[in-house]
Amino acid sequence: MPDGDWEAVWLTNVAEAKALALAHNRPILAVFGSSICAHCDNLDEKVLHKQQFLDYAAAHQLVLFHCRNYDRLRTRVADNYRKTCGMTTLLPHIYLFKVKPGADLTSTATTALDPDQVSLLEISSGRYAGTLSGTNYANASINGVRIEAEANWTPATFIKVLESYFPNKEYPSGKPAWNSLVPPAPGPGGYENAEPLGVVPTKDAPPENEKDWILTSARGSLSGVSSDHWYKFTGAESRHYVLGATGIDMTASAGIRIKVAYFRSDGVKPLNPAIKEVTSNGWDAFDRGIWLDSPEDTPNQLYFLRISHSGGNAATNLDYTLKLHQAAKNPAVGALSNPYWQGALLGKWTMDVEAAIAAAWQNNRPVIFCFSGVRWCRFCVGAEHTAFANPDFNAALNDAYLVLVDNRRRNDTGPSLLRENFAGGYLTANGIAEATAEDKLAANLLLQNALALPGASEAGWTHGPRISYPTFVYCRVAQTGTRADVEIRPIGRFGYDANFTPTEANEAVAVEKLEQLKMLDLNGYLERSMFAETSQQELAAGASPFSSYIGGLVTADWVKFSVDPGKSFLVMIRA
């Protein structure tokens, strides 16, 4: 059946009409007239631009081509087909064309609709079998359909004329008729060349390389003549997958409908109906992340994805790379991928920075910030499957207030919990306005700047110092003035260098680093002491012994001291 998102628009560029028709295997309804033709004016006003006809054209996916200002093309088409179809010179002329494979989809020359480029549809059964689809819409009768007087022309009669070229909608194979123009059902056709994405990694079936927690396709392109691509991957039942795309041009794709259909299979080919279909305005839905949930009755099987577009033209060129990974399904509120939006509870993840800081100060507890790209960062996805699935790691977080700082990619593209504006998404589930979410994303970047290490790289983006994802920053909150004046003081941090490949030894690394940070906290250590630019440790002559710390996460220790002119300074370091 035709897709429900087809838009009926009268095109005036013949190359664009041909490209769209060939890309979607649809017929071109071509109407030719002239700029001074009163009959053509009447057909336009009474039929072609009426909503009744446009709705019909959309439902049947007709490519509409209108030509009233290109006399040379009209004359050339008439010379090619008028006598064969038994037409007169009286305008308007109506044709139904099928574009031939290999046709030139860029030329707008007068030869664009020559017989080597297109073929006329032909009635292949019934009383009018053999009749070609070219006619004057001024005849008293067409294929047995009586036409009203011109003053009373209606869309309903015009539609009957079109339908008369397709009696019963069924014809012998090989005829360029209606049934040969309906696109194949999404399941059975085109999947033979599906690109294999591989097996979706999980904790129980991890990737060989820790960088491969997200499946990645080869570079693809949807074009005017390549309107759909197929992909396949191996997954399991009752899983939650997130599909996205990178390397996409949001501006170039605006106004073009890009659709993904998700199918189960019999192990070889996709099966109808689709599990889910999503139609996106350009790449928007892919940039936000599309949720694909596998049914409960499909254990360890092959799934198919079909990516297609409509609304483009001969020049359409939509480049992309698909990204696919498994995420937590229905995570509890307070889990990493479903943090509280407001408020803060001990041992639970939240996005409410102010509430977490206030609670940490009031209850004399640490606050841990997790800087992450939950929906797109391969190491962050790996961490969710490994460290965050480890009971010991989660237990080590229970005595701190936890803040998720979820960001987009460095170039301000890609998904985030704060962009999920669809059914079930984070914004929708929490009643968050998109403008509010954008403000939070901006605030996240400011927090990242504030907690970045001295000398942190600023390469690759315009938001100041960078923090690698994921990075856990263990902090204390100190009062610096009035009750409202507090300072976030980092104790230390660790990131993906902890190695999130799921083995007992590697998962223990993350737990060990959390325990180190707790020990540093108990000893009053501050991360700023590792850097000459920020250290406030000062050793005075004759002062009491000074205790500090080095080792593990503490890779350096800076202490300031002064020496009067002509004096010497003796420092003894004892471990």
Residue 529: phi and psi, rounded to 5, are -70, -15
Q: Which one has a higher pLDDT value, 422 or 164?
A: 422
pTM passes above 0.75 = no
Res 554: pLDDT: 78
SS3 385: helix
Asked if 405 and 470 touch (Cβ cutoff 8 Å), the reply is no
5 domain-assigned: no
Half-sphere exposure of 480 (CA within 13 A, CB side): 7
Mean pLDDT for the stretch of residues 111-126: 88
Name the token pair of 148: 């009203």
Res 347: pLDDT: 96
Residue 469: phi and psi, rounded to 5, are -110, 140
10 Å Cβ neighbour count for 57? 22
CA distance readout (Å), 317 to 227, 365, 428: 10, 54, 32
Res 139: pLDDT: 76
Among candidate residues 142, 157, 181, the one where a domain is terminated: 181
- The percentage of residues in the chain with a pLDDT greater than 90, rounded to a whole number, is 53
The reply to whether 154 and 241 lie within a common domain is no
Q: Which one has a higher pLDDT value, 106 or 418?
A: 418
Q: Which domain holds residue 273?
A: 191-327
Asked if 214 and 200 touch (Cβ cutoff 8 Å), the reply is no
Asked if 171 and 125 touch (Cβ cutoff 8 Å), the reply is yes
The reply to whether 455 and 533 lie within a common domain is no
Give the orientation angle of helix 155-164 with respect to helix 51-59, to 10 degrees. 30
Res 32: pLDDT: 96
SS3 39: helix
- Encoded amino acid at 76, one letter: R
1 domain-assigned: no
In angstroms and rounded to an integer, the radius of gyration of the C-alpha atoms of the chain is: 33
The reply to whether 51 and 100 lie within a common domain is yes
Mean pLDDT for the stretch of residues 1-19: 77
Specify the range with the lowest mean pLDDT, choosing from 302-311, 433-442, 564-573.
Answer: 564-573
Residue 123: phi and psi, rounded to 5, are -70, 125
Q: Which one has a higher pLDDT value, 559 or 293?
A: 293
CA distance readout (Å), 166 to 124, 287, 547: 8, 42, 92
Res 440: pLDDT: 97
Among candidate residues 327, 362, 390, the one where a domain is terminated: 327
Res 145: pLDDT: 92
Q: What does the alpha-carbon distance between residue 243 and residue 30 come to, in Å, rounded to a whole number?
A: 39
Name the token pair of 532: 């000459």
The reply to whether 361 and 463 lie within a common domain is yes
pLDDT tens per residue, range 335-369: 999 999 999 999 999 999 999 999 999 999 999 99
The reply to whether 289 and 177 lie within a common domain is no
Statement: residue 57 has pLDDT above 80 = yes
Q: Look up the CATH number of the domain holding residue 465.
A: 3.40.30.10
Res 173: pLDDT: 36
Mean pLDDT of all residues belonging to the chain: 86
119 domain-assigned: yes
Statement: residue 245 has pLDDT above 60 = yes
Mean pLDDT for the stretch of residues 527-535: 83
Q: Using the structure block, give the residue that is written with the tokens 């099928």.
A: 98
The reply to whether 283 and 147 lie within a common domain is no
By CB neighbour count within 10 A (0-12 exposed, 13-18 middle, 19+ buried), where does 318 fall?
buried
pLDDT tens per residue, range 278-312: 999 999 999 999 999 998 866 668 999 999 887 66
The reply to whether 362 and 436 lie within a common domain is yes
The reply to whether 127 and 274 lie within a common domain is no
pLDDT tens per residue, range 152-168: 999 999 999 988 887 65
Max avg pLDDT among 8-12, 218-222, 364-368, 503-507: 364-368
The reply to whether 127 and 177 lie within a common domain is yes
The reply to whether 260 and 290 lie within a common domain is yes
Mean pLDDT for the stretch of residues 177-190: 45
Query: How many domains are there within the chain?
Result: 4
Residue 477: phi and psi, rounded to 5, are -105, 125
From the list 27, 160, 163, the residue with the least C-alpha distance to 96 is 27
Res 172: pLDDT: 33
Mean pLDDT for the stretch of residues 532-536: 81
The reply to whether 160 and 70 lie within a common domain is yes
From the list 61, 59, 52, 75, the residue with the least C-alpha distance to 21 is 61
Q: Tell how far CA 304 is from the center of its chain.
A: 17
From the list 462, 455, 371, the residue with the least C-alpha distance to 411 is 462
286 domain-assigned: yes
- Name the DSSP class of 351: S
Instruction: Evaluate the CA torsion angle 177, 178, 179, 182 in order and state its sign.
Output: positive
10 Å Cβ neighbour count for 232? 18
- Name the DSSP class of 340: B
Helix (H) or strand (E) holding 158: helix 155-164
Mean pLDDT for the stretch of residues 309-319: 72
Q: What does the alpha-carbon distance between residue 302 and residue 61 come to, in Å, rounded to a whole number?
A: 31
Q: Look up the CATH number of the domain holding residue 304.
A: 2.60.120.380
464 domain-assigned: yes
End-to-end Cα distance, the chain? 78
Asked if 384 and 337 touch (Cβ cutoff 8 Å), the reply is yes
283 domain-assigned: yes
The reply to whether 220 and 278 lie within a common domain is yes
332 domain-assigned: no
Structure confidence at residue 483 as a pLDDT band (50, 70, 90): low
Q: Which one has a higher pLDDT value, 412 or 461?
A: 412
4 domain-assigned: no
From the list 125, 122, 147, 129, the residue with the least C-alpha distance to 137 is 147
Statement: residue 498 has pLDDT above 60 = no
